[in-house]
Structure 1
Amino acid sequence: MFEFKKENRLGVISLNKAPANSYDVHFFKEFIDLLDEVEKDSGIAVVLIKSAIPKFFCAGADIKVFSQNTPAQNKEMVVMANKTAEKIATSSKIIVAFLNGHTLGGGLELAMACDIRIASNKQFLLGLPEVNLGLMPGNGGIPKLVQLIGNSRALELLVSGDTFSSEEAFNYGLVTKLFKENESEKMALNYAEKLSNGPKKAMSAIKKTIREGFGMNLIDFLNLEKTNVDQLYKTFDAKEGFQAFLEKRKPNFE
């Protein structure tokens, strides 16, 4: 269901569960095991999550399985989905989702759990259409969507169940880079590889500060920032960054 390869400081996870990368409990268990292995690799700074299936990033829950499950089994799947999202959020790696195919329901929730989302301008659909099944997102989709695009637009998309394009997602701020379809795969890899060459400890500290500081009052957020930056001053990367600046060269981070 997954393919993994490592290129220097970049780990690439490809979702490969035909026909649409629809998930079930087994999908998440395997995904969590893979994320645990990646987390143990201190040489990886950035992880790119993409799809090996051309038409889909992820279509969310396997509706056939979902409809045949008992309520208890579906609750277990939601628990596993949330556990996966928590693994991504608390990972020391910067995790980037590359969207190049339909990204719907739990698939979009998975993408929103990632730190950064980039996309192709290919014609494909994104959305959280759970309301059309008499349900609502349950894998973190509502708070993440509100956090990323604001209350009003999030509410409208959630209650209508309407889908939208990658260009609209870019305009909403849901994705931060939009690449031309014919070069998007290469550009996504280049983007993630360039990011992976950065100072891993500083990037991880930035991610941790944003995650823990979200929702804090300003004074507490500032104190958290100070605590975390204080831990970076004596690192090799900080010394190397200053030295490279003075010598007008590219830094060689640890």
Structure 2
Amino acid sequence: MAYSQLRIERDGGVLVCAFHNPPHGYMDRVTVEELDRFTAEAEQDGALRVIVFCGGLPGVFIRHYSVEELQALAERLRARGTAVDPETPIPERQIDRVFNRLGAMPQVTIAAMNGTAMGGGFELALACDLRVGEDGEYRYGLPEVKLGILPGAGGTQRLTRLVGPGRAMELILQGRTLSPAEAHRLGIVQELAPFGGAVELARRIARRIAAQPARAVAVCKGLIHLATRTPLETGLAQERTRFLELLLSDTALERMQEMNRGARDITA
């Protein structure tokens, strides 16, 4: 499938998707439409294990969502007399569907943040399962409050689940952006690569994940996400159930037999 803003490279079970929207590297309507098509197709690919997202322009992961598009949308809606009732939720939009899919799909998603990632670009990274930062003169964060709006594609919810309400308040209410090193110290990015190294580090992580049994990885991913939105008792019940399901699988039995006869080392 052809894309105008996505550059796709595949190596076995690992796929790298680079964002390419020159000159500024903004996310816009086309980016979201292409991501929707790409992720919907990738989700159905049983041989695909890990997707790495990265920036395709120097110094930029995704700079932020196009403010020109947001301004045009605001002007159109105001001209129509659109009003919003805070008690009536807005239906899921295409961008919500895409970002939710990144966490729900069986493949592991990794954001290799090899450049500036703010606003919608940072929200996409937050929607991924793992984030790899890169040391450099880049900024990560959610500065939307400075425009009188809020992070509207999951930022208030996903950042809070990641760093806790106090830290999320500090960052979002000030529109504060972070250096990659600060994001690493706060646990927003799990790994920090040297300058120019985020994509390669993400590839190495992806290859290690892809080497594990696919079903076990997908179930673990689902349970970890479940832990952020359900009571402990519910999560533990699911964990017990899925443990037995995997224990009875051919893959698990074969690998345990190999370990018990000294043919498999799980400590490496």
CA separation in 1, counterparts of 2:249 and 2:24?
44
The alpha carbon displacement at 1:57 in A equals 0.5
- Percent identical residues: 26
**SS of residue in 2 equivalent to 1:50:** strand
Contact 2:59–2:115 (Cα < 8 Å) also in 1:
yes
Q: Which amino acid aligns with 1:133?
A: L
CA gap of 1:199–1:50, structure 2 versus 1, over 3 A, is: same
Aligned counterpart, 1:10: 14
Q: What's the CA shift string for 1:130-160, capped at 9, x where partnerless?
A: 0000011111101111111111111011010
Q: Structure 1 residue aligned with 2:218, among 204, 216, 230? A: 204
Q: What's the CA shift string for 1:92-136, capped at 9, x where partnerless?
A: 111011001000011110000000111111220011000000011
Aligned counterpart, 1:27: 31
CA separation in 1, counterparts of 2:231 and 2:245?
22
Larger radius of gyration: 2
Aligned counterpart, 2:140: 126
Contact 1:122–1:166 (Cα < 8 Å) also in 2:
yes
CA separation in 1, counterparts of 2:178 and 2:244?
43
After TM superposition, the structure 1 stretch with the greater mean CA deviation from structure 2, 93-102 or 174-183, is 174-183
Q: Structure 1 residue aligned with 2:184, among 170, 175, 181? A: 170
The alpha carbon displacement at 1:184 in A equals 3.5
The alpha carbon displacement at 1:182 in A equals 4.2
Structure 1 runs (4+) greater than 4 angstroms displaced? none
Aligned counterpart, 1:48: 52
Question: What is the root-mean-square deviation in Å for CA atoms of aligned residues?
Answer: 2.2
**SS of residue in 1 equivalent to 2:68:** helix
Q: Which amino acid aligns with 2:145?
A: V
The structure carrying a bigger helix percent of its residues is 1
Q: Which amino acid aligns with 2:264?
A: R
Aligned counterpart, 2:264: 249
CA gap of 1:240–1:11, structure 2 versus 1, over 3 A, is: farther
Q: Which amino acid aligns with 2:21?
A: K
Aligned counterpart, 2:206: 192
Q: Which amino acid aligns with 1:204?
A: A
Q: Which runs of 5+ in 2 are unaligned?
A: 85-89
Contact 2:54–2:199 (Cα < 8 Å) also in 1:
no
CA separation in 2, counterparts of 1:47 and 1:105?
21
Number of aligned pairs? 250
**SS of residue in 2 equivalent to 1:144:** helix
The alpha carbon displacement at 1:85 in A equals 0.7
